[in-house]
Amino acid sequence: MTGYAPGDLSRRNTAGDDALPGDAQPDVASLECRLRAAIPSAVRREVSFVRFVWAVTAFVLAALMIGAGIAQRTVLQGPRTESETIAVSGDAPYILIDGGVLNSHAGSQTVRVQEPGTIFASYGRTADLKAWLTPSSYTHVTMDAGATTTTAVAAKTPLSSGSPAITPVGSDLWLDEFRQDDVLIAPLQLPADMSLLVATDGTKPAPSSLTVTWPTGATTPWAGPLIVLGSILLFIGLVLYVLGVRHARRSRGPRRKGLPMPVTEPIDIATEGADKGVISASPTRRQLTRGRRSLLAVPAVGIAALLLTGCTADAWPQLAGTPTPTASESVVVPKDQGSPAVTQAQAERILARISAQVTKADAAKDPAAAAQRLTASALAARETDYKLRDVAGHTALTALPSSPVKIVLPEAYDGWPRTFFAVVEKGDVIMSVTQQDPWSPYKVSNEAELVSQASLNLAPAYVGAIAIDPDSPFLALAPNKVAAAYADILTNGDNSAFASRFDATNDPFRKLVADNRAARVQSFNQTGAQTGTLTFAASAGPDKPISLATLDSGAIVAVTVHESDTVKPTNTDAVIKLDSNPIVQTLTGVNQSSSGFTTTFVDQLFFFVPSQSSNKRIQLLGYSTSILNAKVAP
């Protein structure tokens, strides 16, 4: 038996003298495991490298695309507007900018005026503006051979001495108006047949200069797509970069070559046991980098949102095709027909002003205030109503509604006076509204409550309707004969010669008058039949008929009828007392009369009158009735 001393390095194994020492014996299993682990590690490093390459490529493309998109919206974009400054000389109080100047460039117009104090601007049809300016001098801005020119225009019909100076503020003639202090900016989109009026207060000289700006139409249709696609590529690049970093760290990546490792020595479990189970307090690399990695996607979302905030509609290609117009019902407009008196929006604004003024007059019981917006029978009825507001038994007239406006039928006429019919849904009120001249406000001449559901063929508001001559032979009954004919029916009923021309089945007012008269006769006969008489009469009112044509050759006709009842004693010793009639007593100022009393009512009526060739009857559309006056009988 061979022994050896501890630490003897010449020890041999049983394989023979040529065998390596036991500690240097190669471990085949360990080498095989290392070989197997080395191959996938190289592959993983290659995959990480490819991801980094694609990430860098995505970053470069994203930068190019986003940069190109931003450049289109900034340094590469041409001017978006073009402007022209118009200088005005002289001391004329108004400037009239012709529609040709406003439409000398394509697109909408923006007018900018800078002048100390209040600046006024309004627009409307050129013919209307010129008519309104006839009493005043003004500077006319027009186009001449492609250039803007200014011409001084003198007043044609100066206002007479004592007449109030005209003011442009609040005129019913304007389609819209603007008022601002020091700087006025008015966005417009006017056609060639409209003009713009600029002034200060209508008496001081108009502003000396103004600027008109138009859009150039320059667009950047690919800025939006480039920025969006670049943002997507930027996000993809960030994702690839994060995945590459993550993959490299998992595979531990390529390592720096270190010093030779010392030969592994056996570990004495007994002596090393005290160190077993020691855990490092330092966090791992994965723990240190987890929070940073979770924040990498945040900049991508923030950058994309920031870039897209500047993308407007003109930054995108317009891929939608041109809309194909659909066939609609056509209205044939005669060549010599004028323009409609008002537009829908203009009529709504006028009715709102009328309603506000009449409401104010009603509250104050002020006829002069009511006269600013009422005329003819509509005003006469209100004047009487104000006298009787506090009298027992009197029912006050209702306020004039202004909205919602259901129907507007304007007269197609370029001169004056001009009229339009309007139907307000609230209360089903129909009105005729008239303007006497360019400087007067529109006023209601007739108003009534609709009582018929007739289906009328009316022209649209943007076309308008022609006025029918009062003695026109082309209708079933001439407009100037409608009031007298209906008055005869109210007096004689079915025995009237005109009864067959009017539709009685849809006429509640005719029945109302008949029932009221019958009740009053019955009441009178109980107390005064032995000493007095009660008679009724009806006749056409003093107002001229107002009529506008429908598309089926008929017409809407507004007329007034006066009804009266007269009470007279039958002998000289009898007197008529008004002890139970405070309304007539208030209007006459007396409480008895030996000659009797006559009370008159005003009926405001709207009819549809068909054409002469039609087999239809004249139909009542609406009515209102109220007491007009009372006086001592002659």
CATH of the domain at 133: 2.60.120
Residue 514 lies in a domain: yes
Say what the pLDDT of residue 557 is.
98
- The CA distance from 199 to 130, in Å, is 14
pLDDT for residue 275: 47
DSSP state of 18: T
pLDDT of residue 242: 84
Strand partners, 424: 405, 429
Are 542 and 404 part of one and the same domain?
Answer: yes
The structural domain count of the chain equals 3
**Residue 93: closest CA among 188, 200, 237, 209:** 200
152: helix, coil or strand? strand
Angle among Cα 569, 575, 577 to the nearest 5 degrees reads 110
Place of tokens 């009511």: 370
SS (H, E, C) 290-333: HHHHHCCHHHHHHHHHHHHCCCCHHHCCCCCCCCCCCCCCCCCC
175 and 200 within one domain: yes
Quote the CA–CA distance of 501 and 477 in Å, as a whole number: 8
Question: Under the phi-then-psi rule, with left for phi > 0, alpha for psi from -120 to 50, and beta for the rest, what region is 493?
Answer: left
User: Does some domain include residue 5?
Assistant: no
264 in a structural domain? no
Check whether residue 38 and residue 187 sit in a common domain: no
Contact partners, residue 588, CB within 8 Å, separation at least 6 = 578, 597, 630, 631, 632
Cis peptide before 441 (omega within 30 of 0): no
Residues 294 and 409 in one domain: no
Any residues with CB less than 8 A from the CB of 529 and at least 6 apart, and which?
none
Which stretches of the chain score pLDDT less than 50?
1-24, 253, 258-259, 269-302, 304-307, 309
Does residue 447 form part of some domain?
yes
Residue 29 pLDDT: 58
Instruction: State whether 523 and 409 are in the same domain.
Output: yes
- Cβ partners under 8 Å of residue 116, min gap 6: 182
In a domain, 480, yes or no: yes
Distance CA 332, CA 65 (A): 55
Residue 547: which domain range? Answer: 344-632
Q: What is the pLDDT of residues 149-189, one digit of tens each?
A: 999 999 987 766 556 678 899 999 999 999 999 999 999 99
For residue 113, give the DSSP letter: E
Instruction: Indicate if 452 and 553 belong to the same structural domain.
Output: yes
Q: Give yes or no: residues 555 and 509 share one domain.
A: yes
In a shared domain, residues 143 and 225:
no
Residue 341, token pair as written in the block: 């008196």
Residues 133 and 241 in one domain: no
Half-sphere exposure of 298 (CA within 13 A, CB side): 5
Whether 366 and 513 map to the same domain: the answer is: yes
Asked if the bond preceding 404 is cis, omega within 30° of 0, the reply is: yes
Does residue 304 fall inside a structural domain?
yes
The answer to whether position 496 is within a domain reads: yes
- 43 with 137, same domain: the answer is no
- Say if 525 falls within a structural domain: yes
Q: Are residues 131 and 98 in the same domain?
A: yes
pLDDT at 78: 63
Sequence-separated (6 or more) residues with CB below 8 Å from residue 263: 23
Q: Which of 279, 301, 316 represents a domain boundary (last residue)? A: 316
